[in-house]
Amino acid sequence: MTSCSQISRINDVLYCIHQDIAADLSAHRLSKVACFSEQHFHRVFRKITGESVHQYVRRTRLEHAANQLTFDVDNPVVEIAQKCGFHSLSSFTHAFKRQFHASPGQWRKREYQTGVPQWHRDQDFVRGERRIKNLALPDPVIQQLPARTVAYIRHVGYGRSIASTWQLLSAWCQQECRSTSTQIGLHHSNPEWVPLNQCRYVACVEIDRPMVRNGRVHCLTIPGGWHACFEITGQYGDLLPWISRILNEWLPSSGLKMQTTPAFAVYNRNHFLERDEKFSLSYCLPVTFY
């Protein structure tokens, strides 16, 4: 049986992984972050995440690399490989082909499969694409955002099941007498090529004082820095098509590059909690000039 203590320690490990994917993320080092013996760490990590630590780290690095190859067309493949934690081009190419069934060069040229986004497998998002098809993409505000300390719960899968995670986080806020006024959704995965049931999402509430204890709910710091912030409204099914348009239409022509830190949505209205499933939010894409 998984204990709250084990979940809390693995959450520390996941935060370490996503904070810097190019760092030393060996099982030996990460087991120290979790304060487990290495052998016990392997067992607990797999039990909680459903993947071995090696699989989780490799998948995370490759998903980031796929983003960089698509939206940073001027950066050499070898530099992207290094930026995503691979020390040799050959090992990166082999791992990339195994994950995406295309070489990094083919992926960059979009010579892979049919180019149909994974979210097209869900009719809610296909209908959302039709609704926003003829709407103008909003102009973003490029601004430097501060770091935010948040309480959070991780969720695997992008769909209506996220509502249960938000409800659980809201209940925790009520028990702890904390405000739920600033709700943030972290988007770790790109549903263009990551199947929806494998997308990593994090439900967060900004907190103004330290947490006394960690367990099912944990805390992390969302990095600050330069972001392109898009004000978007709509209903359930519209957000992923909007994000797709931002990445495929706006980003390549912006002169900016996407950072490896996760994009996030700051909700004014959270469609996972609203009865009418409508949202109003600021989608914040981390960007850099270099």
Average pLDDT over residues 131-148: 96
Say if residue 247's pLDDT is above 60.
Answer: yes
Residue 40: predicted pLDDT: 95
DSSP letters spanning 210-276: --S--SSSEEEEE--EEEEEEEEEEETTSHHHHHHHIIIIIHHHHT-EE-SSPEEEEEEE-TTT-TT
Residue ranges per domain, the chain? 4-108, 141-288
pLDDT of residue 278 exceeding 80:
yes
pTM attached to this predicted model: 0.88
pLDDT at residue 177 greater than cutoff 90: no
> For residue 111, is pLDDT > 90?
no
| pLDDT at 287 > cutoff 90 | yes
- In the chain, what percentage of residues exceed pLDDT 90? 72
Quick one: pLDDT at residue 72? Answer: 78
Looking at the predicted structure, is the pLDDT value of residue 45 above 70? yes
d(CA 255, CA 165): 36
Q: Which CA distances in Å does 13 have to 8, 34, 41?
A: 9, 6, 10
Lowest mean pLDDT among 74-78, 146-150, 246-250, 262-266: 74-78
The dotted CATH code for 4-108 is 1.10.10.60
- The sign of the CA dihedral 251, 252, 255, 256 is positive
Could you report the per-residue pLDDT of 224-238, keeping only the tens digit for each? 999 999 999 999 999
CATH number assigned to the domain covering 141-288: 3.20.80.10
> At 113, is the pLDDT very low, low, confident or very high (cuts 50, 70, 90)?
low
55 pLDDT tier (thresholds 50, 70, 90): very high
For 49-63, 65-79, 80-94, 151-165, which range has the lowest pLDDT when averaged over its residues? 65-79
Highest mean pLDDT among 7-11, 144-148, 249-253: 144-148
Show the tokens assigned to 253: 């022509």
Q: How confident is the model at residue 193 (pLDDT cuts 50, 70, 90)?
A: confident
Q: Please give the pLDDT value at position 115.
A: 62
